[in-house]
Chain A
Amino acid sequence: MENILELHQVSKTFPKSDFSLKNVTFSLPYGTILGFVGENGAGKTTTIGCILNTISKDNGTIKLFGKEMLDTDTNLREKIGVVYDGDNFPVYWTAKQLSEVMGGLYKKWDNSLFHKYLEDFHLPVRQKIRHYSKGMTMKLAIAAALAHHPELLILDEATSGLDPIMRDEMLDVFLEFVQEENHSILLSSHITSDLEKVADYITFIHNGQLLMTVSRNDLIYNYAVLRCRESQFLALDPNDILSFRKRDLQIDVLVSDGKDAQRKYKDVVVDHVSIDEIMLLLVKGERV
């Protein structure tokens, strides 16, 4: 399968900060949604900054549409739609003014499509963005990102300001977007339930380091948590343990194959858990 986005050993250090991005490698195939998960400060926005060239990486390669993107590659950026968390646009603009500016920036800006999204999302055209709620500004940013017919959407916490109903509607929009086989989405989010609904793959990042990239189906159907007592934990094969976390008298152990673990360790309780709990175990848990 071809990839619309490829990161290979991408690193970035900040002289005035302890944080660094360490050899991040993952890829996003065409026609898929990749969920990018990590706690605050894990490196999601830095990674997205490196992808979009708003931050210059120290090492590694990033290929968009099979090509490393330079500042001069404006044709590549025509094919990318971006949504950041918070105020994407100056608050003194109206949606109409936004449309006029974007129409001057993107060759393929589709004014009628943008107005259709405004109508669908119930966004007033002539009201200043400063009078929008947070949810409305996010919807506006999503409308703007889609209105120039991008092939790749990069969404950095794009659903965070939305209520559950609106989030669900947006997720439907994203799913519709990837119906085209050459369309893909990189969706960074704290709200892992959103990713469970739409993502084909999920990449976990922690402290600037990529923990793993797994398909959603694998996470839901194969990954599991063993609830062990200490004696049971000591009897586990270390090769089966991805990470573990002690909680009072119980030790939770993350494994990649719950069915196999159930067969091997008959007296241990095996739970299929949410992505939230998997992330907690990966981030806060210990490795063997």
Chain B
Amino acid sequence: MRGLLKNNFYAAYANVKVFSIVMILLGIFVVAMDNKIPSLIIGYLLLAMIGFSFNSIASLRKESSTKWSRYKLTAPIKRSAIVQSYFLSLLLWLIVGMVFAGIGVAMSIMLHGYPFDRNTDVFMLFVLGIGISLFMGAIFFPLFYLGGEERNEVFLVISLLCSIGLVMGLSTFVNTLFPAPMSTVQIILGGIIILACALIVFILAYPLTVSLYYKKEY
């Protein structure tokens, strides 16, 4: 697994390096601005989490341009371990995104005070970022092996759009479940429902991806 994770890290490294620099500069800008425009912080939070996750799955395209996808199968690793490493890498990059988002929002609060109306808003933003990232991975990985690596770009866009759609759909469901005005407990419960759904779909996508990968020939 160590070798596979390193492989995934090197695949994502170049893009993530550029993205990290952009996020640091953007973070400085967001923190430097007075928090009268909360949409800036909202955008930064979501971009950090979704962006790092997106970079992680987009890096699969780089491998498929060489014979490495085939070569890897001749190494002493199981196909399931390869898939596992992709899922794990996505989670690790999501954590990096959460750290970026956390630092950004913490700095902004420290310098300018709390920018949102309710205490639960930051939590809900993290729920959105994590939910979209997990759904995106859960949709992309099976598609990657089902539809062929050459359609990678289309699947990236599809998975991103579908994941946003799913989180929006779940938010609507939560809003229907707990009509306005929602209590703090209801908001947290709604967030947990969205997170749980994303996590369940993410976990279920793993055996599905493995079974599709076992059918792939290189």
Residues of A within 8 A of B (CB): 49, 52-56, 71-72, 74-75, 77-78, 80, 82, 84, 86-93, 97, 100-107, 154
19 more CB-based (< 8 A) A-B contacts, given A86-B66, A89-B71: A49-B70, A53-B73, A55-B218, A77-B74, A77-B77, A78-B76, A84-B71, A87-B66, A88-B66, A88-B67, A88-B71, A91-B66, A100-B3, A102-B3, A102-B75, A103-B3, A104-B7, A105-B3, A106-B76
Contact status A84-B67, CB under 8 Å: yes
Return the chain B residue nearest A82 by Cβ.
Answer: B74
Tell whether, in the assembled complex, residue A100 and residue B6 are in contact, meaning their CB atoms are under 8 Å apart: yes
On chain B, the number of residues with a Cβ less than 8 Å from chain A's Cβ atoms is 28
Distance in angstroms from A145 CB to nearest chain B CB is 9
A252: shortest Cβ distance to chain B, in Å? 38
**Cβ contact within 8 Å between B6 and A90:** no
Contact of B11 among A86, A90, A154 (CB under 8 A): A90
Smallest beta-carbon distance A100→chain B, Å: 6
B10 close to A (CB within 8 Å): yes
Residues of A within 8 A of B79 (CB): 71
Interface residue ranges, B against A (CB under 8 Å): 1-7, 10-11, 14, 62-63, 65-68, 70-71, 73-79, 214, 217-218
CB within 8 A of B73: which of A52, A100, A101? A52
When the two chains form their complex, are residues B77 and A105 in contact, meaning their CB atoms are under 8 A apart?
A: yes
Q: Is the CB of B3 within 8 A of A104?
A: yes
Q: Are A89 and B217 in contact (CB under 8 A)?
A: no
| A271 to B65 alpha-carbon distance, docked (Å) | 46
Query: Interface of chain B, helix or strand or loop or mixed?
Result: helix
Closest to B75 in A: A105
Cβ B71 vs Cβ A55 within 8 A: no
Q: A74 with B76: in contact, given A97-B10, A104-B6 (CB under 8 Å)? A: yes
Q: Are B14 and A92 in contact (CB under 8 A)?
A: yes
Specify which of A88, A90, A101, A154 is in contact with B3 (CB 8 Å cutoff).
A101
- Give the complex CA separation of A261 and B184 in angstroms: 98
Assembly CA distance A154 to B14 (angstroms): 32
B68–A88 touching, CB < 8 Å: yes
Chain A residues within 8 Å of B11, by CB: 90, 92
**Pairs across A and B, CB under 8 Å, 24 listed:** A49-B218, A53-B73, A54-B70, A54-B73, A55-B218, A71-B78, A77-B74, A77-B75, A77-B76, A77-B77, A82-B74, A84-B67, A88-B68, A89-B68, A89-B71, A90-B10, A90-B11, A91-B66, A92-B10, A92-B11, A92-B62, A93-B10, A101-B6, A105-B76
A84 to B76, CA, bound (A): 17
Closest to B74 in A: A82
